[in-house]
Structure 1
Amino acid sequence: MSIPPEIFVIDPRAGLPLQVQLRQQIIAGVLEGRFRPGERLPSSRVLAGHLGVARVTVNLAYAELVATNLLAARGREGTFIAEAVDHPPLAEAASGTPARFDWTRHLDGRHARAQRRDRAGDWRRFRFPFVYGQADPALVDHAAWRQCAVQALGRRDFAALTGDQYGADDPELVEYITRQILPRRGIRARGDEVLLTLGAQNGLWLAAEILLGRGGRCAIEDPCYPGLREILAQTGAEVCPVAVDAQGLPPDALPAGLGAVFTTASHQCPTNSTMPLDRRHALLDRAMQQGFAIIEDDYEFEMSFSGAASPALKAIDRAGAVVYIGSFSKSVFPGLRLGYMVADPAFIAEARALRAMVLRHPPGHVQRTLSYFLSLGHYDAQMNRMRRAYAERRAIMERALAAEGLSLVPGGASGGSSFWLELPEGIDSRDLAQGLRADDVLIEPGPPFFARPDQGARHFRLAYSSIEADLIPEGIRRIAAAIGRAG
């Protein structure tokens, strides 16, 4: 592999000889691992032409480093990073380092402070990963997705693939969503009522920025999806947590003066409780009386195991107060990062303008690939496969939890791909989770889901989307044993 000449830059104003500057850049490249043993440097002629210096300057710099065994000259082949590099002269690499720009004057750290730190990026190395929202490769139709991706690269789709759509979305994908996906939730919508997003998280951010970006007051469920709390922390809005019960968010507990209410009515996150129909109507009535918008995150409607799924809030919203957010992350695969918003055309137009300022539109190739995946029947086939697998895993986990005497929080047995559990008095789920890592088990402690983290100390979530069915009983046994040791 050859190192491109464009990597090197010479500054005549640096106060150092040009030869020394070049030598330092080569040494730094080796020290930092950017230049690897055996890689070929540009020829002295090419590099001198690129830098606008005499060829002898490059030759002298190379010769000095060959003499220290950092480089190796191979006759007509060229000059290479030595295979066995002696320790390079650190003092020379560090000399002349310029003063660093002081970013602390410009960064207040609010985004980093709001970010979750409890998720395990290395979850695949654990034998019993009861983590939510990750994919099981055995359930994803990789061959079908690849076929659709190749088809989207064809000449027919060249414009959709390559063009800057100026904020517009793939019409074929939008049409499929309006004609096939939304009707399954009882929602009727036109194309101008739909906006594609980079997942549900992006949709929640757009809604929060539009409704609360200049402050205001909103209500969220408690406990709730931690990513929503991260988003709202940036808006400057007053956030009012409202405790959920076995039927989800209670409308009677909402405070006055709200601009927006965020809810996961169909599968409350993380408890999995389902808001009954009369409570949904009560929430819509209150929205009209008090004038607040409702943001409905319907993140996992496909996974219902106790009869037909309840209609979405948006389906019974006759006044247009609901902003509906859906996602393909749980049904196709999480890394797809595609979702959609459904709302009044005026809201969608504003959201489209805001999205255009940030990312213009989701990548055209990804949109068209998903359009094919949906329209050719692969999506429905994969959903059927996932439902069967999840139903089996859920039944196995329910039996294992009952056998080990672990306590489910009431109200969360209707669906979703996880369980919400409660620990005995005196046991902290954070300590439990940390200890279980040594047993090759990953669980999700409860505190990140609560406005006051200590309220979640006795709760934890167990998901089964990414763990094989035959591993579930042993994983539950290890969790129960750890709880027994801690009790």
Structure 2
Amino acid sequence: MELHVVINGRKDLAAQLYRQLREAIASGRLAAGAQLPPSRLLAEQIGVSRKTVSDTYATLTYEGLLVGKTGRGTFVNAHALQTERVQTATDLACAANLGKWAALPSPMRHPTRDSTLRYEFIGGATTRNQFPQDEWRRCTQDALRRIARDSGFYSQPEGLPALREAIAGHIAFSRGVKGRADDIVVTNGAQQALDLIARVVLEPGTTVAMEDPGYSPARQLFMAMGASVAGVPVDAQGIEVDKIPDGTRLIYVTPSHQFPLGMPMSVARREALLARAFELGAIIIEDDYDSEFRYAGRPTDSLQSMDTRGIVTYVGTFSKTLLPELRLGYAVLPPAIYGAVLKAKQLTDQHSSTLAQWALARFISEGYLQKHIRRCHTVYAGRRERILQRLAGDLSPWFEAVPTEAGFHMAALCKVAVNIPLLMELARRVEVGLYPVDVFFHDTPVRHGLIIGFGAIELLDIDPALDRVRDILQQIG
């Protein structure tokens, strides 16, 4: 790779080279420890004599900006200092707006590989040991062959037809969703689907209603767009529809597995929600993030399948069924907003990666996805049952589980006063990752407890981990 240096004319060659190298070092474009090209190569690149380059290197070395290492070359001195003050956020005209973004919390930020604890109860993480590596590798190799035969143009913003057909068939079979391939837009995870819908529906100052407690990244996204987010309480039947405020333009719900508490929305409440949204002229986002995994009770229809007026957008993701790193999701859109969302997608990133799309289309059509879901269902069911047994047993003096029938996390609410931050801190010291549920409350009174994910922890690790939690609870009282 060539060093970017531009020489104009034939005058002051050494001065031009000196100024550009010094500015590159001062600005950080040439980082501390970076190796410069040999003087002969740089001279040929920019069309000057080797002596001009050598003399410039010598001057910068004398000033302490470069350092020569015998037999190795010339490097930027690790102790070279920036000569000009860099603008800080408070110096900029957009300082107030930057402050708003900086103030947004990140309650669901996953740990890095290096900071992952031995026993992790984080929500949203999947079981890696069950991932069908061989099948996915075959599908990826097929995708690479397809791309090699392609013309090299950009793909469609709505997603590959093969993947949209596969998604339409999958969700019609597993969730009863009424949607054709032409109703689907493929996105980079469910979060981008939420972003695109919000972009075309909301304006600064408009009202969004969402469950409280609810999915914090969605709340933060709506607030970042300038919307006024109204938290609506939930009870055992789901969102309390009669408390959705007048003037609401967008309603965000998780009816199949309420996030974070876990209960499903009753049929009567769903019907009331559809009627209220139609009355308001509002769009409903149904985030069906992990309902493929059901352990008890009758399967419930998606809210979208009950919609006869074209007001429900069904959002799904493959991050929970496959891997979070895959970053592929989708939205089944009503006709009224499809065109606008498609334009927003094109303006945002043109289209999602076609390599992953081709691979996933093959993965679904070959039946690998359904087989994988069935395998994971068995694994998750065993983990869920063991956690419930512990919560009903030796952990029952402190916690009670919220009844839930689907997904791979549950909420355990405090029965007595528990210092949750202290519990989490002491648990981390013994390699147990615990996460609070109170960060998902906004307007309604906070309930304290834990959100217990069982996607990332092995069955045989659950008892040792919860033994440590119990011991800590006994110590702190």
TM-score, L = length of structure 2: 0.88
Give 1:239-318 correspondences, 5 Å limit: 239-318=229-308
**Aligned 8 A contact 1:325 1:340 in 2:** yes
**Aligned 8 A contact 1:423 1:429 in 2:** no
Q: Give yes or no for the alignment of 1:98 onto 2:98.
A: no
Identify which of 117, 133, 149 aligns with 2:124: 133
After superposition, the Cα gap between the structure-2 partners of 1:29 and 1:326, relative to the gap in structure 1 and judged at 3 Å, is closer
Give ranges in structure 2 of 5+ residues lacking alignment. none
3-state SS, counterpart of residue 241 of structure 1: strand
Identify which of 38, 42, 50 aligns with 2:45: 50
**Aligned 8 A contact 2:212 2:443 in 1:** no
Give 1:326-345 correspondences, 5 Å limit: 326-345=316-335
Q: How many Å separate the matches in 2 of 1:80 and 1:332?
A: 48
Q: How many Å separate the matches in 2 of 1:195 and 1:346?
A: 14
Q: Give yes or no for the alignment of 1:370 onto 2:367.
A: no
User: Who is 1:435 aligned against?
Assistant: 426
Q: Give yes or no for the alignment of 1:148 onto 2:134.
A: no
3-state SS, counterpart of residue 259 of structure 1: strand
Amino acid at match of 1:136: T
After superposition, the Cα gap between the structure-2 partners of 1:89 and 1:9, relative to the gap in structure 1 and judged at 3 Å, is farther
> Number of residues paired by the alignment?
467
Amino acid at match of 1:169: G
Range with greater deviation from structure 2 (427-436 or 403-412): 403-412
Q: Give yes or no for the alignment of 1:191 onto 2:181.
A: yes
Q: How many Å separate the matches in 1 of 2:333 and 2:78?
A: 63
Deviation at 1:62, TM superposition (A): 4.6
Q: How many Å separate the matches in 1 of 2:321 and 2:108?
A: 24
Identify which of 393, 406, 415 aligns with 2:406: 415
**Aligned 8 A contact 2:257 2:404 in 1:** no
Q: Give yes or no for the alignment of 1:221 onto 2:174.
A: no
Deviation at 1:452, TM superposition (A): 4.8
Identify which of 454, 466, 476 aligns with 1:476: 466
**Aligned 8 A contact 1:203 1:339 in 2:** yes
After superposition, the Cα gap between the structure-2 partners of 1:341 and 1:20, relative to the gap in structure 1 and judged at 3 Å, is closer
3-state SS, counterpart of residue 220 of structure 1: strand
Identify which of 52, 68, 71 aligns with 2:68: 71
Deviation at 1:429, TM superposition (A): 2.1
Amino acid at match of 2:382: E
CA offset digits 1:164-213 (Å, max 9, x no partner): 12524200000111123233211121222111111111111112222223
After superposition, the Cα gap between the structure-2 partners of 1:195 and 1:155, relative to the gap in structure 1 and judged at 3 Å, is closer
Q: How many Å separate the matches in 2 of 1:170 and 1:214?
A: 33
TM-score, L = length of structure 1: 0.87
User: Who is 1:384 aligned against?
Assistant: 374
User: Who is 2:440 aligned against?
Assistant: 449
CA offset digits 1:150-171 (Å, max 9, x no partner): 11111576338x4212524200
RMSD (Å), alpha carbons = 3.1
After superposition, the Cα gap between the structure-2 partners of 1:61 and 1:72, relative to the gap in structure 1 and judged at 3 Å, is farther
**Aligned 8 A contact 1:213 1:237 in 2:** yes
Range with greater deviation from structure 2 (184-193 or 150-159): 150-159
Amino acid at match of 1:129: E
**Aligned 8 A contact 1:19 1:57 in 2:** no
Deviation at 1:281, TM superposition (A): 1.4
**Aligned 8 A contact 1:247 1:273 in 2:** yes
After superposition, the Cα gap between the structure-2 partners of 1:316 and 1:426, relative to the gap in structure 1 and judged at 3 Å, is same
Q: How many Å separate the matches in 2 of 1:345 and 1:54?
A: 67
Q: How many Å separate the matches in 1 of 2:462 and 2:196?
A: 38
Q: How many Å separate the matches in 1 of 2:116 and 2:78?
A: 39
Q: How many Å separate the matches in 1 of 2:276 and 2:435?
A: 34
CA offset digits 1:310-349 (Å, max 9, x no partner): 1000011111111110111100111111111112123111
CA offset digits 1:420-466 (Å, max 9, x no partner): 0112443232332122111211111123211159814x222011100
Deviation at 1:235, TM superposition (A): 2.1
Amino acid at match of 2:3: E
Identity of aligned residues (%): 30
CA offset digits 1:103-146 (Å, max 9, x no partner): 53224222232241563523663111001112332011122212
After superposition, the Cα gap between the structure-2 partners of 1:447 and 1:307, relative to the gap in structure 1 and judged at 3 Å, is closer
**Aligned 8 A contact 2:126 2:321 in 1:** no
CA offset digits 1:61-85 (Å, max 9, x no partner): 45578899933354xxxx5358xx9
Amino acid at match of 1:105: A
Deviation at 1:243, TM superposition (A): 1.2
CA offset digits 1:285-309 (Å, max 9, x no partner): 2222332221100001111100442
**Aligned 8 A contact 1:127 1:440 in 2:** yes
After superposition, the Cα gap between the structure-2 partners of 1:476 and 1:18, relative to the gap in structure 1 and judged at 3 Å, is same
After superposition, the Cα gap between the structure-2 partners of 1:279 and 1:34, relative to the gap in structure 1 and judged at 3 Å, is farther
Q: How many Å separate the matches in 1 of 2:204 and 2:364?
A: 38
Deviation at 1:5, TM superposition (A): 2.8
User: Who is 1:80 aligned against?
Assistant: 73
**Aligned 8 A contact 1:62 1:71 in 2:** no
